[in-house]
Amino acid sequence: MKKVLLVTHVGDFIPQFEMDNVTYLQKKGYEVHYAANFSLSSYGNKGERLKNSGVVCHFIPFQRSPFSRENIRAYRLLKKLLKEERFAMIHCHTPIGGAMARMAGRAYRKNGMKVLYTAHGFHFFKGAPIINWLLYYPVERFLSWFTDVQITINQEDFERALHFHAKKVVRIPGVGIDTEHMGVRLLEDRESFRASLGVEKEDFCLLSVGELDENKNHETVLKAVQKMKPDRHIRYLICGKGRLEQKLKDRIKEYGLEDRVKMLGYRNDAPAVYEAADLFVFPSHREGLSAALMEAMAKGLPVVCSKIRGNVDLIEEEKGGLLVDSHSPSAFAEAILRLQKDRKLGEQMGRRNREFVSSFDKSRVRAVMDKVYDEVLE
C-alpha cells in the first residue's frame, strides 16, 4: 500500500487539528503513518484519540527545545523510519517536527518523495525578539530549499514565505473550525452552568483558552484582574494545561485572586464554556491563526486580544474587539472594563465575529488542502 507520513513533535497535534486531512488521504488509498513524541501533550490526550483510526503511530522522542541532546536520537530514528517505509509524501508540522522531517527527507526527495510543511506561525515576525530572527529566520530560509509545498496560515507569513525557496507557497485559513457546529447553542440553563464554574449571576465572565506556557501569556491577564476592584464582579476562567500550571496557581494565590480566577484544565466541553463567558481574552505573544480565537468568534463573543500577527487577521479594532499590547496588564484591564460597561458594544462585536469567522470554516481549509494533496500525489 502507498504510504504517507505526518510528523509533529507532540503526540496529540494530528487528532486535534488534522483528522480531516487523515481521512482524505486514507480515502485516496494511502496508509497514513504518524511520527511524534506521544509522551508530550498539549491538547489533553497524547494521541489516544487515534485508536481505531487506522493511523500507524511511530514513537520518535522529539523534545520541545531545539537544543536538547535527545533530539539527536530522534533525528536518527526518523531517518531510520524513512529508510524502512519509503513514503510517497511527508507532511510535517510544528517547528521541531518540520525541521527534522525536512532535513531527514532530503535524500528521498531525489526518488520522488514530496515534502510539505505547514507553518502554524513562524517564530520570526514583526515585533518578535531579535533572538528569534537570529535563530529561526536563517534556519527556516535554509530548510525551504527542501520543501516542495510551504503552507502558511496568515497573511504576514504567506508574504514572507514567498521570498523563500519552496517550490510552491500556499495560504490556508488556519486549521479551520466547524462554524456551523460551533454556532449551535448548547446551554439550556446558562445560569446554572455558570454557577457550576464558580461564576455568579452578576459576574462579568472572562475566558481564555490555550496551553499554559510562556507564549500564551496568561499571567498578564492575572495582573490585569488584580488591578480591578473586587466589586467590579470580574471572574476569569482559564481552560488549558501545560508546564506553567503550578506557576500560574502560585501567581493566583500571590495576587489574592483565589475567589476571582478559576483554572479549569483541559475541557472536553469547551463549546459550552465559551457560552458561559461574556468576553474572550487572548493575551498571546505569538500566534499563527488561533483556532481557540476562531471558536470564540463563532460563539459570538467579543474579544480583547494582543495586537499581533494572526490575531489582526481575525479581529479588526473596534469591530470584532479591542487590540492591545500583549505586555501591558493596564491596557488589558482598561479594555476589559470598557466592554463590561458597554454591553451593547460587546454584543455588536460578537455578532460581527460570528459573521466574519465563517470565512475560516474548515470546509474552506479542506478545499485548499485536497487540491494540494491531489497535485502532490498525482
pLDDT in tens, 168-199: 999 999 999 999 999 999 999 999 999 999 99
Question: Residue 376 burial (CB < 10 Å; 0-12/13-18/19+)?
Answer: middle
Q: Where are the domains of the chain?
A: 3-176+361-377, 179-359
| 179-359 shares the fold of 3-176+361-377 | yes
Neighbours of 243 (CB within 10 A): 11
Say which residue the cell 470554516 belongs to.
Answer: 361
Average pLDDT over residues 210-239: 95
Span 3-176+361-377 CATH architecture: 3-Layer(aba) Sandwich (3.40)
Span 179-359 CATH architecture: 3-Layer(aba) Sandwich (3.40)
**pLDDT of amino acid 313:** 97
Structure-block grid coordinates of residue 191: 445560569
Residues 86-137 pLDDT 10s: 999 999 999 999 999 999 999 999 999 999 999 999 999 999 999 999 999 9
240: pLDDT confidence band, cut at 50, 70 and 90?
Answer: very high
In percent, the amount of the chain with pLDDT more than 90 equals 92
Report the phi/psi class of residue 52: left, alpha or beta, with left for phi > 0 and alpha for psi in -120 to 50. left
pTM passes above 0.75: yes
46: pLDDT confidence band, cut at 50, 70 and 90?
Answer: low
Query: Do residues 113 and 88 make contact, with C-beta atoms less than 8 angstroms apart?
Result: yes
- CA pair distance 266, 49, nearest whole angstrom: 15
| 3-class state of residue 173 by DSSP | coil
Q: Is the pLDDT of residue 371 over 80?
A: yes
Neighbours of 232 (CB within 10 A): 16
